[in-house]
Chain A
């Protein structure tokens, strides 16, 4: 373990950047139709519950990362292979997000560049930053969340000023009843992006103030949920549900509509910046969680040695993970309720229950 520490404020920053990451670029919860934003809000409540599970596990084992307490709870023989699966899960998550970010980037601004080149640039930059450690990643996050906040607020203001927001596109609320909303909530919005926060179970031991850190974590999940809900609603109000649903990169289409007196226009660069920053931190955190898990399982003292090899694995995995962007998204929806659900929700709940049982039996022998 690295001796570095991160503050609650930095944890907050990282979780928000991670949650928004690739999610803010897309319109989520399309199956709920106009009420997608509602589904996302409801999903956030679920997200808070999921984070509650991680936080409880962290309270029980404040010194250990996820792979550490798996072994502490389930024993070496089940815990170690499960930890190994978690390494694969984190690497796979990083590769998926790397692929997604790269594909969006190519489709929006760099149609001539080979995917592997764009991805290689991204992963090498992440390797550099992760080599410097978690502190540097967290502080870099603090700088960029500030930039993102400024860009976001400015974009919202300009969207209003440009008069492209039509609130009627969101009405009527609950036009199809509560059914589809609830269904979408359970099928999609609880899981994405909240169950990916499992990565932070690897990072929580770095916190310097545990109590404040957990509070900051809850706040981060809540706030990123609200932002996602708002951005989805905004996209729909600008583009209408049809275009928003079909577009691969709705945020870009939305921002492109800003045109105030032929002076303020073509703000695509805002979206590209959001995409790059979000993708960077999302991949970086998945990547780092994978590195930490591997270092923990294989007892490697200096985890920095693992950064470059795992980076290369992620790069090639991102190329092979799917045939096309559409396939990737389709696959993602399936993985969300299977693999991600298993690793992000079911295993932690099971762990918590097992830990509870152990403790109960431990205290009443």
Chain B
């Protein structure tokens, strides 16, 4: 069960075993001893790019020692270079003599221990690693006639600051969100979770991009097997470029072809921290604010960060609204089609007369009318996302008037259809986990087709198929629909209902170990078997 996807992943790997020529080589190469040759080689390797800055100077007194500092403009903080490298090597060393040494390594030790004021600096004698550091924004210091280099972390350059979240908005709760720098993102999480058990693992993914990817989890709460599995899947990735966490998601998810997202993503540190505390694992990717959270269950998409800050009663109410919203998006247009084309007898008489009167003169069948309007709505939504800010006003005005009033007045569509479509549209914005809404939006169209051909029968058969598909999904071995199916009565504390924190039984549920994500030997969640008595 659990290993099925793994075996498949291995098969895929074989196909991808085409090592790209542009990628970084793995083997270790020592650096040049001669400074000029060293500098030339670096310049040559980077194609004489003008943003590679080489600063050469001499330190010591007798004899003078040739030193070169190399960094890349824009990636390294120039002010820091001036303060901590140039200044400290040139000025402060004038007074006290540097001890001489013929040992090639020794010179670096002296510089490291007595001259350089950079906090995070280390000696390195490996061409690939050095190039890597250089391209990541570190500064490299070379000394003539000495083999090796000193790598100092002076990464800087322009970055977006920590701003309020743009997609996951809330009323109560923290206002910070991740940005594109993985360092900042890690610190945002660490700042909230001052536990020594918060472990961080880093790796590079992508042959060319060499993107930093980090796994974060709470040791002791997150299942070790799960961490191992995530690590393994990340290591198995063979691809040239990772540009966003979506690439990673695509490569490590359990099932590729499904309309449903099996990995949650969030740009809110508090959401990530909450999930870490439940034993989940966060995968942070450099260059994107969207952090992956796994394993993911269906109910997670209905939980907003705010749910844990607001009153319980309100939270439960809002969750019901969200579930309702999801079903509205998926089913409302098709229900309307089914009722109006197949099941007239189910509409109360007065309403039926009203609807019939509206439909008089409308030239299209209900399905076509609904399809037209839903497609128009999707168009508007896409336009709204992509269009330049400046023309936003125009599009929304045109959209509202053309699609709403004018279409009805022209007799192309009924007013009821406009109501149904706009209700569906509004409902699609209710889910906190936005990725799930897209699934509902996609499914809506086949659903409408089924409704127009088979009425309620079609809708229900589609629903059964979707539920069956959902139950067959797994996210890192965890059944997607748990704790609904397989059902666990004890695990219903944070699904539709959220029990208050005061309830003694609940507290371990939120911070205790191995609550929802515990795995047994064969990858079936243990609660599947432990909660036998409460099932059914």
Contact = CB atoms under 8 A, between A and B. Distances in A.
A280 interface: yes
A335 B464 CA distance: 31
B219 interface: no
A110 B343 CA distance: 8
B526 to A, nearest CB: 12
Interface in B487-536: 487, 524, 528-529, 531-536
Q: Chain A interface: which size bin?
A: 35 or more
A209 B529 contact: yes
Interface in A117-173: 118, 121-122, 125, 128-129, 132-133, 135-137, 139-140, 142-146
A269 B471 CA distance: 24
B527 to A, nearest CB: 10
A212 B534 CA distance: 12
B348 A144 contact: no
A128 B467 CA distance: 12
Range for the number of chain B residues in contact with chain A? 35 or more
Interface stretch (B117-125, B257-265, B438-446, B454-462): B454-462
A277 interface: yes
Given A7-B535, A8-B535, A269-B346, A139 B471 contact: yes
A136 B536 CA distance: 15
Given A8-B532, A209-B532, A118 B457 contact: yes
Contacts of B481: 139, 143
B419 interface: no
A288 to B, nearest CB: 13
B90 interface: no
Nearest to A280: B464
Nearest to A136: B472
B467 A140 contact: yes
Contacts of B533: 212
Contacts of A228: none
Interface in A4-49: 4-5, 7-10, 12-13
B468 A4 contact: no
A109 B343 contact: yes
Contacts of A121: 454, 457-458, 461
B535 A12 contact: yes
Contacts of A133: 472
Most buried by B among A7, A118, A122, A262: A7
Given A142-B484, A144-B464, A277-B460, A266 B348 contact: yes
Interface of A: 3-5, 7-10, 12-13, 105, 109-110, 113, 118, 121-122, 125, 128-129, 132-133, 135-137, 139-140, 142-146, 208-209, 212, 216, 262, 265-266, 268-269, 272-273, 276-277, 280
Given A145-B536, A269-B343, 14 more contacts: A7-B528, A9-B534, A109-B342, A109-B455, A135-B472, A139-B481, A140-B468, A142-B485, A142-B487, A262-B348, A266-B345, A272-B457, A272-B460, A276-B457
Sorted from nearest, which 7 A-B pairs have the closest CB atoms?
Answer: A9-B535, A139-B485, A139-B471, A9-B536, A142-B485, A129-B468, A12-B536
